Amino acid sequence: MSDPQTGMLAGKVAIVTGSGQGVGRAIAEGLAKAGAAVVVNDVGVTLTGETENASAADEAAAAIVKAGGRAVGNRDSVADTAGANHIVQQALDSFGRIDIVVNNAGILRDAIFHRMTPEEWRAVIDVHLHGSFNVSRAAATHFRQQSSGAYVHMTSTAGLIGNFGQANYMAAKLGVVGLSRSIAMDLQRFNVRSNCIAPFAWSRMVSSIPTETEADKVRVAKLKQMTPEKIAPMVVFLASDAASGVSGQIFAVRNNEIFLMSQPRPVRGLHRGEGWTPESLAEQLPGAFGPSLTPLERSADVFSWDPV
């Protein structure tokens, strides 16, 4: 554990949502090792949202304290506005300030789109997207007042690229990208930064990947090489003053690889002085744009090589 006075995050206070286990816990431990005091938030539910271990947050916080760090547990739901406000208030009450918000909490309700229920849609949007807004908004007032702060939001290549049977998760995770960029732009003048990470790691969030085919089994075996601890260094960096010039960006972390992800920009253009009709579009657009259309790829199709 780093000295709270000399670590890269010395004197800073962080909130990590969904950090009772998995990627979130590894991030919380990484922030603590870098000198930050951490509010470990977790409601203690299963991957699909049922109560599993209500004391997960307290146990993770206790482990950090035992290792020489500073941490407290919190069981509030990020999907609830009052709960999000209480998470931030607990940081202030326990450690006197708030400097870092890591929006990591999430659940899954996978279903092929034509069978997805409104309840499955809302549950995932509530935790991932509304939860990220709620905690970010609760911290924003304090970040603005102190003219400093850093947000790190967990997105996913499922949203950035695509996956089967995850319309709710894909929409939420791409929504988080828009939220992050908006925060980066709106709070730039207050010296507040906001970035996204798409993490590749073997955790509960990916343990539900089906292994029915031999290709799926090989893919899962590769994923198991990527431990949650590989994500923490990038979070620590983005939360630190060393990343003062980095905001509004999307990164991916895959074992020992770091990627800067592209963001939507014009790829090709067509102009017709007299304007367009449906017929003229049908005649010209497919041939002109066809080679540049984005294929219906999954994350595994784009990240097709073994993690290194």
Active-site amino acid positions: 169
Phi-psi domain of 35 (left: phi exceeds 0; alpha: psi -120 through 50; beta: other)? left
Distance CA 39, CA 72 (A): 5
Distance CA 282, CA 273 (A): 17
What one-character-per-residue DSSP string does the chain give?
---TTTSTTTT-EEEETT-SSHHHHHHHHHHHHTT-EEEEE---B-TTS-B--TTHHHHHHHHHHHTT-EEEEE---TTSHHHHHHHHHHHHHHHS---EEEE-------B-GGG--HHHHHHHHIIIIIHHHHHHHHHHHHHHHHT-EEEEEE--HHHHT--TTBHHHHHHHHHHHHHHHHHHHHTGGGTEEEEEEEEE--STTTTTS---SHHHHHHHHHHTTS-GGGTHHHHHHHHSGGGTT--S-EEEEETTEEEEPP----------TT---HHHHHHHHHHHHGGGSPP---HHHHS-SPP-
